[in-house]
Structure 1
Amino acid sequence: MQERNYALNHAQVEQREVSGVLRNTYGLLALTLAFSGIVAYVSQQMRLPYPNIFVVLIGFYGLFFLTAKLRNSGWGLLSTFALTGFMGYTLGPILNHYLGMANGAEVISSAFAMTALVFFGLSAYVLTTRKDMSFLSGFITAGFFVLLAAVLASLFFQISGLQLAISAGFVLFSSAVILYQTSEIIHGGERNYIMATISLYVSIYNLFISLLQIFGIMGSDD
């Protein structure tokens, strides 16, 4: 009887922890997306130039690893907003590029709507079915290296259709990460809401950029 009560109490405590991580993750994600959107709007309105690729890589990975290091302290929240704000800044010039197209506003709105639909759809699927998506870890690891190789190849070789294939690959990769990360939260694999937030944020960012590229390429062929 005591063992049964202990098991029930443990399950209740674990469920409260999962609920807390979910609540904090989605709350912080909403705030960072709003902050990133504001920074992107300011960057777009000021027509700031897209930074050098090395600045982007150093800025992103530097702030990412800083956030990971500070994830268990209040400073982790500050570095989270620094990371998402920086990514918002890089988004502004990208938006200006597409707004310069004849159908740029339509491309951006379509990518935004599709990103929201994919994120909420995938999240709702995992949250309602509570399926364990840990089997995706291998696909995510392999996908990361395949996409990295494809991106490097695109820098040195002009291969027809490669950019479209890379963008489609990132859509699948980001979708898999959203499924995996959400599953990790509800099944106890992720207990740090800051790390869960930046993982989901980066997936949403990559998903939006990839859909922008896909719709932009498709629109330019019309």
Structure 2
Amino acid sequence: MSRFATAVARPQGAVLATNKVIRNTYMLLSMTLVFSAATAGVSVLFNLPHPGFIITLVGYFGLLFLTSKFRDSALGLVCVFALTGFMGITLGPIINTYLGLPNGPELVMTALGSTGAIFLGLSGYALTSRKDFSFMGDFLMAGILVAFLAGLGAMLFELPGLSLAVSALFVLLMSGLILWETSNIIHGGETNYIMATVTLYVSIYNLFTSLLHLLGAFGGDE
């Protein structure tokens, strides 16, 4: 009888732990998105200049490293808000560029709405279907690396066609990353809600900027 009770308790304990990670992840993600939107709003309001590619990379990877290092402590939460706040500041100048277009506000709102719809749809599907998308991990990591390098090439050699292709690829990759990370949480592959939040935030950020780029280009204003 005791063996049966132990066998039942373990799955129940795993389910409770998973539900806790899911709850904490989406709670923290909501707060970081609001904070990031606030810093982006400040950046837009004061028309702050973009810090530049190098500073953005150093700031992003530096704060990402600190977040990962302190992910099991309260300091990890501070690092998450520092990271997402910094990314919000870098987003402000990008939004300002599109707001300066004739149909800029419409483009920004369309990209924002599309990002929200994609995220909610994919997350909801992964949560309700309970399908295991772990098989996508290696493909996504390789694809993100290739897309990042291609994006660097497009920027350095000023290739607008390649830049658009990279944005389209990022939309697909970030959509896959949302499915993969949500599945990872559900099936116990990710037990740290801070790192889960960072992965989902980065997915949303890149999804939004990529959609904004594509909408701006195909809107005929770039």
Give the TM-score normalised by structure 1: 0.97
For 1:175 and 1:4, locate their aligned partners in 2 and report how far apart those are by CA, in whole Å: 41
Find the counterpart in structure 1 of residue 117 from structure 2: 117
Letter of the 2:45 partner, please give it: Q
For 2:80 and 2:198, locate their aligned partners in 1 and report how far apart those are by CA, in whole Å: 7
Task: Give structure 1 stretches of 5+ with no counterpart.
Answer: none
- 1:140 aligned onto 2:149: no
Find the counterpart in structure 2 of residue 157 from structure 1: 157
1:146, distance to aligned residue in structure 2 (A): 1.4
Find the counterpart in structure 2 of residue 89 from structure 1: 89
* Structure 1 segment 186-197 matched on structure 2, within 5 A: 186-197=186-197
After the TM superposition, list the runs of 4 or more consecutive aligned residues in structure 1 that deviate by more than 6 angstroms: none
Find the counterpart in structure 1 of residue 206 from structure 2: 206
- 1:64 aligned onto 2:64: yes
Question: SS at 2:134's partner residue?
Answer: coil
For 1:59 and 1:221, locate their aligned partners in 2 and report how far apart those are by CA, in whole Å: 31
Q: For residues 79-113 of structure 1, what are the alpha-carbon distances to aligned partners after superposition, in whole Å with 9 as ceiling and x for unaligned? A: 10000000000111111100000110010010000
Question: SS at 2:43's partner residue?
Answer: helix
Task: Give structure 2 stretches of 5+ with no counterpart.
Answer: none
For 1:51 and 1:156, locate their aligned partners in 2 and report how far apart those are by CA, in whole Å: 17
Query: Contact 2:101 / 2:221 at 8 angstroms: preserved in 1?
Result: no
- 1:176 aligned onto 2:171: no
1:26, distance to aligned residue in structure 2 (A): 0.2
For 1:130 and 1:195, locate their aligned partners in 2 and report how far apart those are by CA, in whole Å: 20
For 1:111 and 1:25, locate their aligned partners in 2 and report how far apart those are by CA, in whole Å: 24
CA RMSD in angstroms comes to 1.2
Letter of the 1:175 partner, please give it: S
1:186, distance to aligned residue in structure 2 (A): 0.5
1:3, distance to aligned residue in structure 2 (A): 2.9
Q: For residues 139-177 of structure 1, what are the alpha-carbon distances to aligned partners after superposition, in whole Å with 9 as ceiling and x for unaligned? A: 112202210221122134344521111000100111111
Q: For residues 12-35 of structure 1, what are the alpha-carbon distances to aligned partners after superposition, in whole Å with 9 as ceiling and x for unaligned? A: 100000010000000000000000
With over 3 angstroms needed to count, the CA separation of the structure-2 counterparts of 1:178 and 1:15, relative to structure 1, is same
With over 3 angstroms needed to count, the CA separation of the structure-2 counterparts of 1:5 and 1:121, relative to structure 1, is same
Question: SS at 2:21's partner residue?
Answer: helix
**Identity across the alignment (%):** 51
Q: For residues 120-157 of structure 1, what are the alpha-carbon distances to aligned partners after superposition, in whole Å with 9 as ceiling and x for unaligned? A: 00000000000000010121122022102211221343
For 2:74 and 2:45, locate their aligned partners in 1 and report how far apart those are by CA, in whole Å: 32
1:6, distance to aligned residue in structure 2 (A): 1.4
For 1:50 and 1:186, locate their aligned partners in 2 and report how far apart those are by CA, in whole Å: 37
For 1:117 and 1:33, locate their aligned partners in 2 and report how far apart those are by CA, in whole Å: 15
Give the TM-score normalised by structure 2: 0.97
